[in-house]
Structures are given as C-alpha cells and as structure tokens.
Amino acid sequence: MLRRATLDNGLTVLVQEEHTAPLASVWCWYKVGSKDERAGLTGVSHWVEHMNFKGTTNIPRDQVKGIIEQFGGTWNGYTWIDQTTYLETATKDALDRMLFIEAERMANGLYHPDDCESERTVIISELHGGENDPDQFLDQEVVATAFKAHPYRHPTIGWLTDLETMTRDDLYGYYRRYYVPNNASLVIVGDVDTDDALRRAEHHFGKIPRGALPPRQRTVEPEQTGERRVTIRKPGTTAYLKIAYHSPAIDDPKFYALLVLDAALTGAYGLNLWSSFRLPPPQRSTRLYRALVGKGLASAVNGSLLPTQLPFVYIISVTATDGTPLAAVEGELVDELGKAARDGITPAELVKAKAQLNARLVFENDSVTNIAHQIGYFETIAGADVFTRFRPRIAAVTLEEVADAARTILTESNRTVGWFDPLPVSEVA
C-alpha cells in the first residue's frame, strides 16, 4: 500500500513496501523540466541534471565513483518536458546511502566551473549523437512546428547556441531556484519498513530549508487553426514521416479515450516511460500496421501518446520502405486516420485495446524500480493516485468516447506533418 507523508519543509514522501526481492529503489522527482526554460536557456534543466552527478559538499568529486556501486547498485537520472528525476536501485541495506545521495543532490551541489565547462562538450556530443539519427531529428522539428508559443516546443536537450553560451551562474541559479524540498517528491519502494523509511527520509531531508516556490510559465498554446508542414532535406538513406496532433493532458478524461484509440491504431505501449517504451507493442493486427507495414509501404509504424501535465502532441511515426515515396505513405496514413475520425473503432477493437493495456499494466510494474518510477512520474505531473486508478479508467472508456476523441483530435487543422526526405549521401569531404 502506498503511504504518503509531507515533511515540514514541504517535501512529499511516498513509500510502498514490495518484499519480492532484497532491493530498494529511491527516486527523487523535481517539478522542473524543459517547459520551465526561457529563451536563451533552453537545455538548462537537462544540463543541471548532468551537474548533479559531479559531487556535493559531502560527496567530494573523487568519491562519486563507487558510492552506490559498492552496494551493487545502479544510479541514473533523466529530464523531460515536465520533470527531472534521479534514481538509485540497490540492495536494501543501501537505503540510507541512497537517501543521503538524494539529500546532498537537493541541497549541496558543487557546480565547479571546470566541471560545468567540461560537461558543456559532453552535452553537445549528446545533442550531435541525437542529430545523427534522422528519425530523432525529424521528431524534434515536428514538435517545434506543432507548438508556436508554448515552451513544449523546444527540445529537452536545448538549442545548440544556448548550450554554447550558457554560464555556470545560469546553471547554479536555476539549480537553486528549482531544487527545493517543496518542489520535489521522494519515492521509496522495496523491501523496506514504511515507518522506518519515513524516519530515515526525515533524518536526511528534514533540515533542508523550504524555498520560494519557483515561477511557472503562463503561456497557453493557442488552438491550431490549420495544417502545418515541415520538410527536412538532408543527406540520408531512409525516408521518415511523422504526423503530430495536439492531444489532451493526463488530467483530461479524453486522454484515456485517445490511449485506447492509439492501441487500436498502432498497439498499446503502456504508460511507463522507464520500461514499456523499451519494448515494442503488440501491433501486427492494428489498423496502421496492416495498412502500412502489411502492404509493404513502411518497415515500421509507431504511436506515441505520453502522459504529460499540459496538452502535448500525439505523434504517429512511420519509416518508409526503401523506394516508397513519402507521398504514398502519407496518403495511406491519412486515409486510415480519416476512417477512424469518421467511424471510430469497432467493439472488437475496443476489447482488444483494453486487454493490451491491462496486460501492459502488469508487465510494466514488475520491479521495484519500475513501480517507484510510476508513482513518482504521476505524482509530479498530476498526483500519484492517477497511477493507482489506471485500470478502472481504462475499463470505463466507451466506444462513443473513442469515436469522439478520434473525431475531434484527428483533424486536418490539428495536425502537423513532417517529412524527412533524404538527399543522396556523398562520402566525399
């Protein structure tokens, strides 16, 4: 059972006992992501995340290596549009060590100027690595085109010139503004005693002072009033197509109808960004697979509907088979989406989509790490109870709701179409 507590400094602590393995997973979540960045500082949330692995007042730089590995543990972190998070999973006797690391990370980051400088090139290398992948590059361009005002439009890694010019003070100022206990949630899941875990959390975090709640962006994305298009012409070997539709946030009931619709169109991925999205969905009987891959027009098709705090985009991605014109792929895809918008899905598709989603809920919660991720992820964007109510909410979705979601979301005026139309590759300098 999930137990919630709030420390005097505002830190939310969530503990769930899972006694299936002698392990514990600790995640610390911050309500800060790339949507909180202003122009000129894009990428700062992610860079701050990198800096928070570079030593603290009580974990000197040369003692970072091995601090969790000596318990057989792993640690990591990620940043996305709504959140930044850090995790450790290790044997349960490392619980104190994990809490100590997270408390240090919240309050005592060093941000040595040399480390900031050295990390600049690491992050630019990460950005260039992403640009090497045309599918990822197109994704970034499509999202940037779909949003004209809201900061969801810029990539979490940031724009290159911002990464080249950001200073140590920019990073440290941002860190101090957002890394306060009343802007964070601590999640502990594993072979622990809840009361004991809460005591330890109080011991490690209780003295960290509350901070002023950070400012929030107020821009609301205006309604899209016509189709947008972006075409990338760069050297490459393979053509890619994406169509993005503005889609509901997690707290909108329409989200669940769209989730079921996506399962019928491309197969159910599930709702765990940490685990499900690493496994392909069951999809060979879905509409878009049959229409595109089944007919040899595409080698892959995927849907991406991610739970977000504010309305984001539902993206359908297609890899065209060698020699197939993108126009042919787009024509077929738009036809299929048009049918769904016009007629909704069938009762049999509804039953199958729900069965897939329910199975994924089982598969994606098979470890203390995955369970802790889900609790913290949803606490950060909407409240942890969203996570515990998935099953009834999916069960309650009706055919009419799916049809309504299809009719209102899959419209021409709500879509952004992106092409990666490759130019011939020359291997000469």
Regarding 238 and contact with another protein (CB under 8 A), the answer is yes
- Pull the structure tokens for residue 268: 């159910």
Q: Which of 60, 215, 222, 235 binds another protein (CB under 8 A)?
A: 235
A 10 A CB-CB count for 188 gives 29
Tokens 């291997």, residue located: 427
The distance from CA 105 to its chain's CA centroid, rounded to whole angstroms, is: 21
Tell the smallest beta-carbon distance from residue 336 to another protein (Å).
17
Contact set for another protein, span 19-58 (CB under 8 A): 20-23, 53
A 10 A CB-CB count for 253 gives 12
Per-residue mark of binding to another protein, 368-387 (x: CB under 8 A): x-------------------
Contact 270, 387 (CB under 8 A): no
Tell the smallest beta-carbon distance from residue 93 to another protein (Å).
6
Residue from 56, 86, 91 nearest 73 by CA:
91
Q: Count Cα atoms within 13 angstroms, Cβ side, for 245.
A: 23
- Closer to another protein by CB, 222 or 235: give it: 235
Instruction: Give the torsion sign (CA, 205, 208, 212, 216).
Output: negative
* DSSP type of residue 215: P
- Pull the structure tokens for residue 224: 């899209």
Q: Which of 149, 220, 327, 355 binds another protein (CB under 8 A)?
A: 355
- Closer to another protein by CB, 132 or 225: give it: 132
Tell the smallest beta-carbon distance from residue 221 to another protein (Å).
29
Q: Which of 228, 352, 373, 415 binds another protein (CB under 8 A)?
A: 352
Per-residue mark of binding to another protein, 318-337 (x: CB under 8 A): -xxxx---------------
User: How many residues sit in the footprint of another protein (CB under 8 A)?
Assistant: 79
Q: Measured between alpha carbons, how far is 123 from 130 in angstroms, rounded to an integer?
A: 11
Tell the smallest beta-carbon distance from residue 318 to another protein (Å).
11
Q: Which of 8, 117, 195, 385 binds another protein (CB under 8 A)?
A: 117
Regarding 391 and contact with another protein (CB under 8 A), the answer is no
Contact set for another protein, span 168-227 (CB under 8 A): none
Stretch that binds another protein, among 281-289, 375-383, 392-400, 408-416 (CB under 8 A): 281-289
Q: Measured between alpha carbons, how far is 47 from 15 in angstroms, rounded to an integer?
A: 29
Residue from 168, 172, 188, 234 nearest 2 by CA:
188
From the number of C-beta atoms within 10 Å of its C-beta (0-12, 13-18, 19+), residue 328 rates as middle
- Closer to another protein by CB, 17 or 202: give it: 17
- Closer to another protein by CB, 327 or 362: give it: 362
Three-state DSSP at 116 gives helix
Regarding 388 and contact with another protein (CB under 8 A), the answer is no
Per-residue mark of binding to another protein, 71-90 (x: CB under 8 A): xxxx--------------xx
Integer CA distances (angstroms), 48 to 110, 120, 121, 123, 202, in order: 11, 11, 14, 11, 25
Contact set for another protein, span 120-179 (CB under 8 A): 120-129, 131-134
Q: Measured between alpha carbons, how far is 239 from 321 in angstroms, rounded to an integer?
A: 8
- Closer to another protein by CB, 299 or 411: give it: 299
Q: Which of 220, 362, 395, 396 binds another protein (CB under 8 A)?
A: 362
- Closer to another protein by CB, 22 or 215: give it: 22
Q: Measured between alpha carbons, how far is 126 from 43 in angstroms, rounded to an integer?
A: 12
Tell the smallest beta-carbon distance from residue 150 to another protein (Å).
27
- Closer to another protein by CB, 358 or 411: give it: 358
Which helix (H) or strand (E) segment holds residue 168: the answer is: helix 168-178
Regarding 244 and contact with another protein (CB under 8 A), the answer is no
Tell the smallest beta-carbon distance from residue 191 to another protein (Å).
10
Residue from 221, 216, 241 nearest 231 by CA:
241
Regarding 284 and contact with another protein (CB under 8 A), the answer is yes
Q: Measured between alpha carbons, how far is 87 from 102 in angstroms, rounded to an integer?
A: 8
- Closer to another protein by CB, 117 or 400: give it: 117
Contact set for another protein, span 87-116 (CB under 8 A): 89-93
Integer CA distances (angstroms), 128 to 25, 46, 137, 158, 317, in order: 32, 15, 10, 11, 21
